[in-house]
Amino acid sequence: MPRTSRIPGFRDLSVSERRARVAETAEIDPQSLAVFDPERGLGVDLADRLIENVVGVLGVPVGIATNFVVNGRELLVPMATEEASVVAAASNAARIARVHGGFTTSATTPIMQAQVQIVGVADPEGARLRLLEHRDELIALADSQDPLLGKLGGGVRDLTVRLVPSRAGTYVVAHLHVDVRDAMGANAVNTMAEAVADRAGEIAGGRTLLRILTNKADLRLARARAVFDADALGGGTVVDDIVHAAALAEADPYRAATHNKGIMNGISAVVLATGNDTRAVEAGAHSHAVSPDGRYTSLSRFEKDADGNLVGTLELPMAVGLVGGATKAHPVAKAALSVLGVSSATELAEIITAVGLAQNLAAVRALATEGIQRGHMSLHARNVATTAGATPEELPAVVARLIADKAVRVDHAERVLAELRANA
C-alpha cells in the first residue's frame, strides 16, 4: 500500500490501532511508539536529570494530525496539546489543502544570531567600524569554540554591528551570525558570544555586558504556502470572507493577537511534541509579527488567486533542532521525530510552519462561516463531561446531550449526569 497520511476514520480507531497505523505509515517499528504510554515515556528518574527540584512529570496528550502533504511527502504529524479541537482542525485544513497538492515549504540557512552589548563607548560610530575591521579575527575566535559545528558544515558566517540608542545611552551591539545546522543553537551561540566578548569590548573601547542569542531569529525563517480549493472551503463567498478576516488581522492588533494565537496552536504543539523550546519559537514568532513601522500584525496572509481559490502563506522565525535540548533526551520527543522522519532541523522547521498555516486556515474558516463554537465546543464537550465526573461509559450520552442542548458547560453536564444516573 503506498504511504498516505489520508486515513479516513482514524478518529474511530482505538489508541493501539492508531499507533499501528502511524507506525505502518511512518515505516517505523510499532514498538518504538510504546513510549507514548505514560509509564513507558518520561519517567521521574529521567525528568530529575532534565530540570531541577523535580517532583514529578506532567502528562500532555499527544495526537496525530492526518492528511498532511508537505513538498509532496505524505506526513502524519504528532502534536502535543491540552486543547480540544486543535488536532482535528489541523487535519481538517490539511485535508482541504490536499486538493491542490498540500503544502509547499522553504527555509533560509539555519542562522542564529548572538548579541554582545558594549556599554560606555565614547565613540560608537568609530567603535562600529573598528569592530568590523576585526571581523575575521572575531569570527575565528568564535569558530574555535565549536570545531564540531564546523566539521558538520556550520559555523560563524558573519559579524555585524548595530548602534542602539536607549534612555541610558547608545549601545554598541555586535551580532555573530552562526549557521547552527541541526541544533536550535542557543548553547552554541551563547558560548561563542561569551568567548568573543572581552576582545570585542577591547576593540570597541567599552565594557561588554550582555552576551546572549536573540530569539528574534529573523535570519532563520521557515515558509509555507498552500492553495485551498474554493469549493472544498465552501464556495467563493467563504474565500472572500476569509480574505476579509485576514485583512482585519493585518490591520488590527487586537484581532492579530488572536489570529496569531491560532497559528501558534499548531506550531507550539509540534514544537512541544518534538522536545523543542516553545518559548523560544513563540518569542521569535511574536517579534516577527511587528511590522517595520512598529505595528503588531498577523503572521500569515490570505489572498484569492486568479482561479478564485484561496492562497495562504506563512513565514516566521523557526529555531528548532534535532539535536540538543530535550530532543534527544526525551523518549516521547524521539518517537515524535521518528514519526515525522525528518533528516534536518530545517525540514522540521518547514513542517512546523505548514502545520501553523493549516491551523490558522481551519480556525479562520470556522470563524468566517459557522463560528468557532460548534466544531470546537463539540470536541471540548468530552473534556467538560469528564470534569463533571462522567465515566468513559457515560461519556457518549453526556456529550451528545451537551451538544444537542447547545450548553457545553460543567453545571449542565452535572445535571445531565445526575438525570442519567437517576434513570439508569
Ligand X SMILES: CC(C)(COP(=O)([O-])OP(=O)([O-])OC[C@H]1O[C@@H](n2cnc3c(N)ncnc32)[C@H](O)[C@@H]1OP(=O)([O-])[O-])[C@@H](O)C(=O)NCCC(=O)NCCSC(=O)C[C@@](C)(O)CC(=O)[O-]
Active site residues: 83, 261, 277, 376
Tell whether residue 361 is a contact of ligand NDP (CB under 6 A): no
185 binds, among ligand X, ligand NDP, none (CB under 5 to 8 A by kind): ligand NDP
Cell numbers describing residue 305: 488567486
Residue nearest to ligand X (CB): 375
Shortest reach from residue 56's CB to ligand NDP, in Å:
20
Task: Please state, as a whole number, how many other Cβ atoms lie within 10 Å of the Cβ of residue 86.
Answer: 26
H-helix segments, 119-235: 124-133, 135-143, 147-151, 186-204, 230-233
Of residues 167-226, which lie at the interface with ligand X (CB under 6 A)? none
Tell whether residue 343 is a contact of ligand NDP (CB under 6 A): no
275-279, long-range: CB < 8 A, 24+ apart: 275/325, 275/326, 275/327, 275/328, 275/329, 275/330, 275/332, 275/333, 275/334, 275/336, 275/337, 276/184, 276/320, 276/321, 276/325, 276/326, 276/327, 276/333, 277/184, 277/186, 277/319, 277/320, 277/325
Tell whether residue 130 is a contact of ligand X (CB under 6 A): no
Residue type, position 151, single letter? K
Cell numbers describing residue 26: 511512518
Tell whether residue 67 is a contact of ligand X (CB under 6 A): yes
Candidates 106-114, 195-203, 225-233, 360-368; binding stretch for ligand X (CB under 6 A): 360-368
- 3-state secondary structure (DSSP) of residue 303: strand
Contact 85, 376 (CB under 8 A): yes
By C-beta, is 325 or 375 nearer to ligand NDP?
Answer: 325
Burial class (CB in 10 A: 0-12, 13-18, 19+), 58: exposed
Shortest reach from residue 378's CB to ligand X, in Å:
7
Shortest reach from residue 349's CB to ligand NDP, in Å:
13
Q: Which of 21, 259, 288, 401 binds ligand X (CB under 6 A)?
A: 259
Candidates 84-92, 142-150, 301-309, 354-362; binding stretch for ligand NDP (CB under 6 A): 142-150
Of residues 319-348, which lie at the interface with ligand X (CB under 6 A)? none
| Site size with ligand NDP, rule: CB under 6 A | 22
Phi then psi for residue 167, to 5 deg, are -70, -15
Tell whether residue 280 is a contact of ligand NDP (CB under 6 A): yes
By C-beta, is 180 or 233 nearer to ligand X?
Answer: 233
Q: What is the dihedral of CA 6, 9, 15, 20, to 10 degrees?
A: -40
Q: Which of 64, 363, 384, 398 binds ligand X (CB under 6 A)?
A: 363
Shortest reach from residue 33's CB to ligand X, in Å:
18
- 3-state secondary structure (DSSP) of residue 68: strand
112 binds, among ligand NDP, ligand X, none (CB under 5 to 8 A by kind): none
Tell whether residue 102 is a contact of ligand X (CB under 6 A): no
Contact 312, 93 (CB under 8 A): no
Candidates 90-98, 141-149, 201-209, 233-241; binding stretch for ligand NDP (CB under 6 A): 141-149
DSSP string, 248-279: HHHH-HHHHHHHHHHHHHHHHHHHHHTT--HH
Shortest reach from residue 213's CB to ligand X, in Å:
29
Instruction: Return the closest-CA partner of residue 274 out of 331, 358, 215.
Output: 331
First to last CA, the chain: 46
Which x/- pattern over 364-383 shows residues binding ligand X (rule: CB under 6 A)? x-xx----x--xx--x----
Cell numbers describing residue 286: 511574536
Which x/- pattern over 261-300 shows residues binding ligand X (rule: CB under 6 A)? xx--x-----------------------------------
Instruction: Return the closest-CA partner of residue 278 out of 330, 309, 320, 228.
Output: 320
187 binds, among ligand X, ligand NDP, none (CB under 5 to 8 A by kind): ligand NDP
Cell numbers describing residue 105: 515549504
95 binds, among ligand X, ligand NDP, none (CB under 5 to 8 A by kind): ligand X
By C-beta, is 79 or 189 nearer to ligand X?
Answer: 79
Tell whether residue 226 is a contact of ligand NDP (CB under 6 A): no
Cell numbers describing residue 178: 552562526
Q: Which stretches of the chain bind ligand X, using CB under 6 A?
A: 8, 11, 66-67, 83, 85-86, 88-89, 91-92, 95, 258-259, 261-262, 265, 362-364, 366-367, 372, 375-376, 379
Q: Which stretches of the chain bind ligand NDP, using CB under 6 A?
A: 146, 148-149, 152, 154, 180-188, 213, 215, 277, 280, 321, 323-325
